[in-house]
């Protein structure tokens, strides 16, 4: 931060921090290119715009995610087509995705919900067969892996990350988009900076917004990037302890607690998430019933989607999904207290 302030160059278009961050992010993920931006939502907007999504096009995605997953599609004047999710971990059901694809589909956005992998193998195969782009939303899945140990963010054509306050690592706000495709990278870079290739002069080649990451944010993000592996490792160790404790309890399960999970939060499946959340709250353990209050399509910002559109997603939100906030600072005794509270509620 002091290095940036002393340089007096605070804007990402003119300094070195944002460019260095992009190189470090590309190296961390072993991908050819990374483009920085002002938020995870912006990172997804770069991806959706680079995919050529426009009016009349469709993008298939999940109803259980942050609004930032769908806002870029709406901003491009395209239609969001919601596919239902798997009833255990809340990630996209590949069969539902395939059924939702039409000749107008341009892309599928797969969210790795809570840090657990969507079905990367099948979604990649479906997208290839239909000739549509696969965009991975890795905002909740920093350094997460799929069941075969492949790094999430290296399977899609583009993968997007968030540096918002409550993600694994933060710089306040910020976003990163990675790809191996130089043409997609160029389009994302242009869209991030008003369609302006700074090496060329004051010419606007494409439509673009100002989604630049500032040098101050980039300086913080560069340090955070060196810490993310440790953050994920500590979350894995403590979530493992909790998953083992929960395995012994009746009426509650941790869906798919495999080793490569990134544990943004710890999701639980119960019979009545409202009752569990209230009981846990009473014992001093914060818990969120359903993660969202409603599926994305039931928000006033979207219209034309009937209730019951994705029944498995609605059941998770209304009845069975309970989310425990998680943190790399949780120690063994913190996990023990949470497990004891879960045990009390399970027994009551």
Catalytically active residues are 167
Reported for 281-285, long-range contacts at CB under 8 A and 24+ positions apart, including other chains, are: 283/341, 283/344, 283/345, 284/341, 285/324, 285/337, 285/338, 285/341, 285/342
The answer to whether 214 touches 10, Cβ cutoff 8 Å, is yes
Any idea which residue has 């005794």 for tokens? Answer: 333
Question: How far apart, in whole angstroms, are the C-alpha atoms of residue 99 and residue 93?
Answer: 10
Long-range contacts formed by 16-24: CB under 8 A, 24+ apart = 16/215, 17/215, 17/218, 17/219, 17/222, 18/212, 18/213, 18/214, 18/215, 18/218, 20/218, 20/222, 21/176, 21/213, 21/218, 21/221, 21/222, 21/225, 22/176, 24/222, 24/225
Cβ closest to ligand PLP, residue 12 vs residue 40: 40
Element (H, E) at 157: none
* CB neighbourhood size of 73 (10 A): 25
Considering the complex, state which of residue 241 and residue 288 has its C-beta at the smaller distance from ligand PLP. 288
- Residue (177 or 279) nearer to ligand PLP, CB: 177
The DSSP letter of residue 253 is B
Q: How far is the CB of 158 from ligand PLP (least distance, A)?
A: 13
Residue 174: closest CA among 214, 228, 115:
214
Cβ proximity to ligand PLP, 137 vs 157, nearer residue: 137
Q: CA–CA separation, 342 vs 283, rounded Å?
A: 9
Q: What is the 8-class DSSP label of residue 210?
A: B
CA proximity to 72, closest of 211, 242, 258, 267: 211
Binding site for ligand PLP (CB under 6 A): 39-41, 65-66, 68-69, 111, 137, 139-140, 162, 164, 173, 175
Residue (of 210, 209, 211, 207) closest to 160 by Cα position: 211
């Amino acid at each position: 931060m002091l290095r940036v302030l002393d340089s007096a160059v605070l804007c990402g278009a003119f300094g070195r921090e944002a460019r260095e961050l992009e190189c470090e992010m590309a190296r961390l993920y072993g991908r050819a290119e990374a483009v920085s931006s002002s938020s995870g939502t912006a990172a997804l907007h770069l991806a959706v715009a680079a995919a050529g999504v426009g009016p009349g096009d469709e993008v298939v995605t999940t109803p259980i995610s942050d609004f930032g997953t769908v806002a870029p599609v709406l901003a491009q004047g395209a239609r969001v087509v919601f596919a239902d999710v798997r009833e255990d971990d809340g990630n996209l059901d590949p069969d539902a995705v395939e059924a939702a694809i039409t000749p107008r589909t341009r892309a599928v956005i797969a969210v790795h919900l809570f840090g657990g992998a969507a079905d990367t193998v099948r979604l990649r195969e479906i997208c290839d067969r239909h000739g549509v782009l696969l965009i991975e939303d890795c905002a909740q899945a920093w350094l997460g892996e799929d069941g075969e140990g492949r790094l999430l963010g290296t399977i899609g054509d583009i993968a997007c990350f968030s540096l918002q306050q409550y993600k694994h690592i933060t710089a306040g706000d910020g976003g990163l988009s990675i790809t191996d495709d130089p043409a997609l990278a160029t389009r994302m870079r242009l869209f991030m900076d008003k369609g302006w290739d700074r090496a060329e002069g004051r010419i606007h080649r494409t439509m673009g917004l100002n989604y630049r990451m500032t040098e101050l944010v980039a300086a913080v993000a560069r340090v955070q990037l060196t810490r993310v592996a440790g953050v994920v490792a500590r979350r894995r160790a403590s979530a493992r302890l909790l998953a083992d404790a929960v395995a012994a309890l009746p009426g509650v399960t941790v869906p798919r607690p495999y080793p490569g999970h990134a544990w943004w939060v710890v999701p639980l499946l119960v019979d009545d998430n409202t009752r569990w959340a209230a009981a846990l709250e009473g014992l001093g353990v914060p818990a969120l019933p359903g993660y969202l209050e409603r599926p994305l399509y039931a928000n006033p910002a979207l219209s034309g989607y009937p209730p019951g559109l994705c029944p498995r997603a609605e059941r998770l939100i209304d009845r069975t999904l309970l989310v425990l906030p998680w943190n790399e600072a949780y120690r063994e005794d913190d996990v023990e207290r949470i497990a004891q509270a879960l045990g009390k509620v399970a027994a009551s």
